[in-house]
Amino acid sequence: MTALELKIPPVVLVAIVAVGMWALSRIAPDLAIAIPAAGWLASGVALTGMAIAILGVSAFRKAGTTVDPRVPGQSESLVVSGVYRYSRNPMYLGFLLVLCAWGLWLGNLPALLFLPAFVLYMNHFQIVPEERFMRDKFGAAYATYCAEVRRWM
């Protein structure tokens, strides 16, 4: 299964998951749920997710390190400030929140099953390989950071 490690850009995965959620909501419309103020709630969650992801990208750019998660070996510095004080993966957390918002907007229970699948995929095929590279490159500093900051939130 390591053939999938670091292969699919997370933004592409988000698009695939979003399309899958939409398709499943159309296949199983009888399993729709009524969520009061779904549009407002979804908008708030989506904006929060986008802000978190943008803060993560901004911190990487400010540190002069790569934002391409498929090549963690090209990381120039260990970013531990800003939004990275709260999450080791704020970009992925932001993506998850955007997908949560999409699920709220769709209002379909089966579509929400894609959310834990997204987290499991990201943990196994993206985050664990990234962490392996970071541990090798930044050693004790990265181990300390991992002990102090959670993976997602």
Give the predicted TM-score (pTM) of the model: 0.94
Q: Total domain count for the chain?
A: 1
User: Domain limits at 80?
Assistant: 10-25+34-66+74-148
Beta bridge partners of 32: 108
Q: Give the pLDDT confidence of 83-127 residue by residue, as tens digits.
A: 999 999 999 999 999 999 999 999 999 999 999 999 999 999 999
Structural domain contains residue 126: yes
Q: Is 66 helix (H, G, I), strand (E, B) or coil?
A: coil
Structural domain contains residue 4: no
Phi, psi of 108 (to 5 degrees): -135, 120
Structural domain contains residue 1: no
Separation between Cα atoms, residue 28 and residue 24, nearest integer Å: 6
Query: Per residue of the chain (153 residues), what is the pLDDT tens digit?
Result: 577 788 899 999 999 999 999 999 999 999 999 888 999 999 999 999 999 999 999 999 999 998 888 887 788 899 999 999 999 999 999 999 999 999 999 999 999 999 999 999 999 999 999 999 999 999 999 999 999 999 998
Structural domain contains residue 3: no
Separation between Cα atoms, residue 34 and residue 32, nearest integer Å: 7
